[in-house]
Amino acid sequence: MSAGVAEGIHPTAVIHPSAKLDPSVKVGPHAVIGEDVTIGAGSSIGAHVVVERATLGKNCRLYPGCFVGTAPQDLKYKDEPTRLVMGDNCTVRECVTLNRGTTATGETRIGNNCLFMAYSHVAHDCRVGNGVILVNCVPLAGHVEVGDFAVLGGLSAVHQFVRIGRFVMASGGSMIGKDVPPFCTCQGDRATLRGLNNVGLRRSGMTRETIGAIKDAYKTLYMSGLLLADALKKLQASGGPAEVLEMAAFIERSKRGVMRPAGGSETEEEVG
């Protein structure tokens, strides 16, 4: 597709002949769409955007000056044919950088309905779920996993290989070096757990019974005085809802270690 031929393509845009753009896609001035790119229906590409080796879903909006699918910042990378895959309805604001994968996994993967605010960064081989929000200037290092509907506050940073569970809320400026269990909040440098994401749980549509079980599980894990291994066994034997078993399984799979509350920081009020 040559620039300026299709409706909605600005004449100054540069589009590689191998790129596959739905006819409804709009491309702004001086944007560069490189080889091995596919962009779904209803998406818009702003001025001076660069997209390389990426698949974008439907109705994605890329704001001016962002870079999607560009080469990873990894000295081991030698221009192997890796890529970035993004779902539908994602918003990528100004100056965001979303890098493609390395040969370690072959791709960086992003789900649906995500918002990447200005200057946020997703490094190589990350896995970002659905409905995730990265607030301004949040960087994810390589191989990070972020669960559905997690929100990372502005200027937070996430260490390589860290896993962040579903519905996690990280306060602004959190330095996250260990895995954060689902449904929790964290804060600080280095970040520690500060209770449950009560607002997120209420908005999620979970029943009161399920939310109550999650609160009880948190208390068992962190406020009962039990060793973590014994607390996990208690949760697994409790017959609780899937969300409680999800918390236990997440913790058991941790390789970097799981974030815990700061000494004396957890209270009944914070948990709910």
Give which of 103, 84, 80 is closest to 92, Cα–Cα: 84
Mean per-residue pLDDT, 113-141: 98
| CATH, residue 228 | 1.20.1180.10
Catalytic residue among 28, 48, 69, 125: 125
Q: 29 with 136, same domain?
A: yes
Give the residues across from 145 on adjacent strands: 127, 163
User: Are 127 and 27 members of one domain?
Assistant: yes
125 as an active site residue: the answer is: yes
Residue 41 shares a structural domain with residue 111: yes
Query: What are phi and psi for residue 232, nearest 5 degrees?
Result: -65, -40
What total number of domains does the chain contain?
2
CB 53 within 8 A of CB 35: yes
24 within a domain of the structure (yes/no): yes
pLDDT digits (tens, 9 = 90+) for 5-57: 468 999 999 999 999 999 999 999 999 999 999 999 999 999 999 999 999 99
Full domain range(s) for residue 251: 202-265
Residue 133, in any domain of the structure:
yes
Catalytic residue among 142, 147, 153, 165: 142
Same domain, yes or no: 122 and 18? yes
For position 103, which CATH number holds? 2.160.10.10
Asked if residue 185 belongs to a domain, the reply is: no
> pTM here?
0.94
Nearest CA-CA partner of 102 in 137, 142, 139, 131: 142
List Cβ neighbours of 24 (8 Å cut-off, separation of 6 or more): 8, 41, 42, 43
State the catalytic residue, choosing from 57, 124, 148, 153.
Answer: 124
Task: Indicate if 19 and 138 belong to the same structural domain.
Answer: yes
Residue 121 annotated to the active site:
no
Bond into 190 cis (ω within 30): yes
- In a domain, residue 183? The reply is no
Q: Quick one: 254 exposed, middle or buried, by C-beta within 10 A (0-12, 13-18, 19+)?
A: middle
- Whether residue 24 is found in the same domain as residue 137: yes
Within a domain: 156: no
224 and 114 housed in the same domain: no
Q: Is the pLDDT of residue 271 over 80?
A: no
Which one of 104, 127, 143 terminates a domain? Answer: 143
Is 124 tagged catalytic? yes
Does one domain contain both 44 and 128?
yes
Nearest to 103 by CA among 122, 79, 87, 129: 79
Q: List pLDDT tens digits, range 143-192.
A: 999 999 999 999 999 999 999 999 999 999 999 999 999 999 999 999 99
